[in-house]
Amino acid sequence: MARIDSSKISNEPLARPGGVGAPTLLLAGPTLELVDQWTAELLVLRRRSPSSDAVETLSICVRELMEAIKAAGDARLHLTIADIHATSRIPTSTLRWLCKHKPELVGVRKHEGVWYIDRAKFERYMATSDREAPLEPRADRSAANVVEAA
């Protein structure tokens, strides 16, 4: 287990907030690894000095971090058409068409003239929709073509 020299730790925050209400995204993998590490440290600390204030403090930190991770899983991320275009390279005209014609499928809302698309619903739509014509003819179509040719 790695030890951290606290004399080398800066008091500067790791990331500065982007402003009031700005979303902060956490990557679940490293965050869950941190919870596992803290939980292991907590078990050792409980064995060595069960009545220590550090035990209580660390257990509160682990509990609050787990609650924050669970709450983040319930958060909805709405992206603009420009954001989705930048990450997926789907033409903006196609995205606008989806917003106008299939708003319930992609989780669209409009605020002050800007379309916002629910990322989770949009990804689900993209994964399940039949956006392209099949490359291979289906069996029932090819059988019909053979009958017509005869």
Q: Which domain holds residue 55?
A: 26-75
How far apart, in whole angstroms, are the C-alpha atoms of residue 122 and residue 132?
17
Q: Say whether both 87 and 69 belong to one domain.
A: no
Domain presence at residue 19: no
The most confident of the ranges 17-31, 99-113, 134-148 is: 99-113
Domain presence at residue 5: no
Q: Say whether both 62 and 86 belong to one domain.
A: no
Using DSSP's 3-state secondary structure scheme, residue 118 falls into strand
Domain presence at residue 134: no
Strands 108-111 and 78-80, how do they pair?
unpaired
How far, in whole angstroms, is CA 122 from its chain's centroid?
A: 12
The whole-chain average pLDDT of the chain stands at 75
Domain presence at residue 120: yes
0.85 exceeded by pTM = no
What domain count does the chain have? 2
What would the pLDDT profile of 11-70 be if each residue is shown by its tens digit? 444 444 444 344 455 566 778 888 899 999 999 999 999 899 999 999 999 999 888 888
Distances (CA, A) of 127 to 61, 84, 105, 123: 37, 15, 12, 6
Q: Say whether both 99 and 119 belong to one domain.
A: yes
Q: Say whether both 58 and 83 belong to one domain.
A: no
pLDDT on residue 147: 47
Domain presence at residue 11: no
**Half-sphere exposure (CA, 13 Å, Cβ side) for 105?**
12
